[in-house]
Chains A and B, each alone.
Chain A
């Protein structure tokens, strides 16, 4: 059974810092891995999707990497801003299933 873990559960940083969020998964047989952003009480916004054959994806100040063999992914946020404050979730799409398996998220607070 695929399990996804995110560390840390919460993170508080001053504005302008670069930061890394971590995600690990137990079964490397995945189609893809996605990073989502969730604002309090809201739905999920997809940030980046990395296909199983890819190593990284970039969008603006965000860079996500994937190491399938070790079951790890990182989300790097450059020059953090207070507007980046949210919960960040990673999810894997197992190769044998249609649904996504999510981690519990990292709650990020960027202090002005």
Chain B
């Protein structure tokens, strides 16, 4: 069984540019969640996709957008990059059961540095 993978591992961009981060879900998982983790902080929820539709969004501006594809892989796009967007971006996949045993499986993350 393949785990959650993310690409690229590291990325350097300049302020104002656009970036696309990619995530491949664990086999059989139809839900993908994206989180932003600033240095020294816990991950903050950006949004979740379920069967190619956005299924919940955290307190992030519209310049953060996403896509989920029929194979359940996903992209996170960030436009007009700001210095504060520098962070570790984590992708997590799951199968929503609505039950108390439901968990998310995290990828290794993409480290984004905005200069």
Interface residues of A (CB under 8 A from B): 4, 31-32, 34, 36, 41-46, 49, 51-53, 89, 91, 93, 97-105
Report Cα–Cα, A45/B96, bound state, in Å: 19
CB atoms of B42 and A46 under 8 A apart = no
CB atoms of B104 and A100 under 8 A apart = yes
Total of A-B residue pairs, C-beta within 8 Å? 70
CB atoms of A89 and B42 under 8 A apart = yes
Interface residues of B (CB under 8 A from A): 4, 6, 31, 33, 35, 40-45, 48, 50, 55-56, 58, 88, 90, 92, 96, 99-109, 111
Q: Is the interface of A mostly helix, strand, loop or mixed?
A: strand
CB atoms of A100 and B100 under 8 A apart = no
CB atoms of B40 and A43 under 8 A apart = no
Report Cα–Cα, A31/B96, bound state, in Å: 13
CB atoms of A41 and B100 under 8 A apart = no
CB atoms of A42 and B58 under 8 A apart = no
Instruction: Give chain B residues whose Cβ lies under 8 Å from the Cβ of A49.
Output: 101, 103
Q: If the complex has contacts A42-B108, A104-B40, A104-B42, are A99 and B101 also in contact, measured as CB distance less than 8 A?
A: no
Closest B residue by C-beta to A46: B103
Report Cα–Cα, A104/B40, bound state, in Å: 7
The smallest beta-carbon distance between B30 and chain A, in angstroms, is 12
CB atoms of A43 and B31 under 8 A apart = no
Report Cα–Cα, A93/B102, bound state, in Å: 9
Residue from the list A46, A52, A89, A99 in contact with B33, Cβ < 8 A: A99
Instruction: Give chain A residues whose Cβ lies under 8 Å from the Cβ of B6.
Output: 43
Instruction: Give chain B residues whose Cβ lies under 8 Å from the Cβ of A93.
Output: 102
Q: If the complex has contacts A4-B42, A42-B108, A99-B58, are A34 and B88 also in contact, measured as CB distance less than 8 A?
A: no
CB atoms of A43 and B96 under 8 A apart = no
The smallest beta-carbon distance between A53 and chain B, in angstroms, is 7
Instruction: Give chain A residues whose Cβ lies under 8 Å from the Cβ of B48.
Output: 98-99
Q: Nearest 6 CB-CB pairs, A to B?
A: A102-B42, A51-B100, A99-B45, A44-B106, A43-B108, A43-B106
User: Chain A CB within 10 Å — which of B6, B40, B41, B43 has the most?
Assistant: B43
